[in-house]
Amino acid sequence: MNKTSIAVAVSCVLAAMQPAFADDNGPQSGAPVATPSVAAGGVSPAAETKNAVVNAEDAQTASQIVQVSSQAKSQGFIADSHLSVLFRNYSDYADVTGSARRHAWVQSAMLNYESGFTKGLIGFGIDASLYAALKLDGGTGAGNMVHVSKTGNGANQLAWAYPGIFDVKARISETVVRYGEQIVTNPFVEPHDNRALPPTFRGITMTSNEWSSLSLDAGSFDAVRARGTDYLQKLSTSYGGTQFDRLTWFGGNWNFSENGTASLYADQAQDVWKQYYGSVTDSIGSVNTIKWTGLANLYATRGDGENRQGPIDSNAYSLSLSAQHGFSEVLVAYQKILGNQFFDYVNQTNGVYLANSMDVDYNAPHEQSLQLRYTFYGDQAGLPGFKAMLWAVTGWGANASAGASENASSSATYHDLYWKNGSYIQGRHHEIGFMPSYKVQSGRFKGTKVSLFAAWHVGSTYYSDTTSQEYRLTVNMPFKFF
């Protein structure tokens, strides 16, 4: 990782902890813990990343998103090494209809060491992190905003610490292979980092930039250290709560023009699904006049092997168009789910690059949704470091009757996914959200990021996501030792 990216963030405020609730709103699924890409100032979110909320909250965690550099330029294991720490002060308040009000206030620290690579044709190195957190407030009802033990308890624990990222790595030319606990970013396993500490995943990954306009990404994970926990556990699906043994993926991104990128990926959640993802984004014009950015995303999900989450045959897509002039950008996005199943993704990840996945995901069977979003770029208005996003989303047409009928007699964990208040999932809902942030531009605390997230969601009687309001304040303060 180069010096400018030691404290690069991977963040997200979309939740994936509990089935049928996108931002941790609603009851637990039964298991103790069933369980974010960098925005450049003045650039359209759609042009930077597939997920708007991740884009808005950059610089949230010291993460392992690596700019692969040539092995021929290696200065050695020690000479190219880096040590940094990220302090995060995290507070959250949520009021969910039918549940106790939850609140939490946690101070965390992420100490990250990243070695260089040894010289030679093949370079070797290590990465190691120590994660620690101190609970300042929060108890019953706080869930994984504080500590969760293997038994599902642990909310009264005052402090906890554990190894975060810990891996060995090798590099040849412009390709890096890692094995161990790590963080990666792609349309299936982007870490769901909306707590005091991010999740990490155990497995092997490969990142390659052998060609200037093409990057390749592959890997396989078999365990996760979830948010709020200090132990490894099996992988699971976010909405269905179905456990599986391994996630394997392969894909890449092609920069076909100065402002255009196409992505194509495939993954397998063993014995649950095979999933395919494709996207195309391109921009024309200038912010001095009007910069137009279009983005299309598509997920196709099919059952795999034992079909542990039942038969799956669904598609989900979103289309968005934004126009930016100076410091103002307006975006309109449409999203639709095609099929009788929820669009689901891997738990502890934000593996949902659909445009309307904001506070909640709008991912019920047959659901359609429409979003209007305004983004203010302070860099373009004489306020460097400041950014604000305001959005409104409405969803309609949800109908899980087919899924409810298919699983009426099932005792599987995903059975309740299709039901709410004695009826199959149906109806409409909407949300309004606001997210301002400021990053210190100079001085001793340069890089410190203050982010506020506020969202109000109104659900209908038989829709899966419950009426809720949530407020989250996060202060991230990075320091570099060398």
CATH number at residue 404: 2.40.160.10
More confident residue, 58 or 262: 262
d(CA 353, CA 279): 9
d(CA 289, CA 305): 52
d(CA 94, CA 295): 32
Helix (H), strand (E) at residue 55: helix 52-56
More confident residue, 217 or 152: 217
> Residue 246 above 90 pLDDT?
yes
Instruction: Provide the domain count of the chain.
Output: 1
Which of 9, 190, 200, 143 minimizes the C-alpha distance to 88? 9
Of 75-89, 142-156, 367-381, where does mean pLDDT reach its minimum?
A: 142-156
pLDDT band at 356 (very low <50, low <70, confident <90, very high): very high
pLDDT band at 15 (very low <50, low <70, confident <90, very high): very low
Which of 115, 103, 116, 229 minimizes the C-alpha distance to 162? 229
Give the pair of three-digit tokens for residue 238: 């976010």
**Residue 69, pLDDT score:** 67
Which of 76, 79, 68 minimizes the C-alpha distance to 5? 68
d(CA 36, CA 13): 8
**Residue 34, pLDDT score:** 29
- Whether the Cβ atoms of residue 463 and residue 429 lie closer than 8 Å to each other: yes
d(CA 94, CA 25): 8
pLDDT band at 200 (very low <50, low <70, confident <90, very high): very high
**Residue 339, pLDDT score:** 94
Distances (CA, A) of 64 to 75, 159, 165, 198, 402: 20, 24, 8, 12, 42
> Residue 53 above 80 pLDDT?
no
- Whether the Cβ atoms of residue 58 and residue 447 lie closer than 8 Å to each other: no
The range of the structural domain enclosing residue 216 comes to: 3-480
**Residue 336, pLDDT score:** 98
- Whether the Cβ atoms of residue 185 and residue 12 lie closer than 8 Å to each other: no
By percentage, how much of the chain surpasses pLDDT 90?
77
Which of 396, 357, 392, 358 minimizes the C-alpha distance to 372? 392
Q: For the chain, how long is the longest CA-to-CA vector?
A: 65
Residue with tokens 């637990």: 28
Give the pair of three-digit tokens for residue 302: 């099919």
pTM above 0.75, yes or no: yes
> Residue 32 above 90 pLDDT?
no
**Residue 406, pLDDT score:** 78
> Residue 458 above 70 pLDDT?
yes
> Residue 206 above 90 pLDDT?
yes
> Residue 49 above 60 pLDDT?
no
pLDDT band at 118 (very low <50, low <70, confident <90, very high): very high
**Residue 54, pLDDT score:** 52
> Residue 4 above 70 pLDDT?
no
**Residue 139, pLDDT score:** 73
